[in-house]
Amino acid sequence: MDVRIDKWLWCARVFKTRSLATDACRNGRVTIGGSAIKPSREVRIGETLVVQKDELTRTFKVLGLLDKRVGAKIAKDFVEDLTPASEFEKKREPSFLPPMYRPKGAGRPTKKDRRAFDTLPNDE
């Protein structure tokens, strides 16, 4: 059975939609052996995939081939997550940047700056 890599990523629940998986392959965010792959490439059992998704770089090993989307419990039998724990810690590190940064001595905010500040979401 031959399965496209974009379809397998969607079936194994790595990506929410197949079009997101296809876009990730096209933009070079999915690699095998350090080289970017096309969405039409066929996946093989035993290959190790590196997927850059959000801020994380996740590593997966293909344990089986899927051609239909399955539930999350069943999908665990077809993919092994080899992502190191340090990669998940990156996401937890808080970002203490203020919502709007103005360098000291930049003067009063302009109308454009004020409008940009007003469109920021409130934490209330």
> What would the pLDDT profile of 59-114 be if each residue is shown by its tens digit?
999 999 998 999 999 999 999 999 998 887 776 666 666 666 777 888 888 898 88
Structure-model confidence comparison of residues 72 and 124, the more confident one: 72
H or E segment and range at residue 108: none
Domain range annotation of the chain: 5-86
Please give the Cα distance from 28 to 52 (Å, whole number).
9
Structure-model confidence comparison of residues 100 and 34, the more confident one: 34
Question: What does the pLDDT look like over 71-84, one tens digit per residue?
Answer: 999 999 999 999 99
Q: Which long-range contacts (CB under 8 A, 24 or more apart) does 80-84 make?
A: 82/48, 83/56, 83/57, 83/58, 83/59, 84/59
CB 51 within 8 A of CB 60: yes
- Chain centroid to Cα 62, Å, comes to 17
Q: Which long-range contacts (CB under 8 A, 24 or more apart) does 118-121 make?
A: none
User: Does 5-86 carry CATH code 3.30.70.3460?
Assistant: no
123 pLDDT more than 80? no
Q: Which residues pair with 30 in a beta bridge?
A: 51
The pLDDT assigned to 88 comes to 79
Reported as a pLDDT band with limits 50, 70 and 90, residue 1 is: confident
- In order of 106, 117, 121, the CA distances from 99 in angstroms are 17, 9, 9
Residue 26 phi/psi, 5° resolution?
Answer: -65, -35
